[in-house]
Amino acid sequence: LYEKFVEMINDDFENHHIVYKLDSDEMIALAYKNNTIPFKMQEYYDWHEINLLIEEDLD
């Protein structure tokens, strides 16, 4: 299960440029505790970092 979540978090970053405020271990624990997947936990996204990545892509 852990491996699946780690892959998901890496995939979120690579494909969707999602950056989390927490490290992956905490993110996985929270997702598991809340019975959801990290991709759905928007309140834990680092929007500032996400916007910087998007701006870099647009340049």
* pLDDT tens sequence across 8-59: 999 999 998 999 999 999 999 999 999 999 999 999 999 999 999 989 888 8
Stated pTM of the model = 0.79
pLDDT of 49 reads: 95
44 and 18 in contact (C-beta within 8 Å)? no
Query: Bigger pLDDT: 1 or 32?
Result: 32
Handedness of CA 19, 54, 7, 40 (dihedral sign): positive
pLDDT over 90 at 6, yes or no:
yes
pLDDT of 57 reads: 84
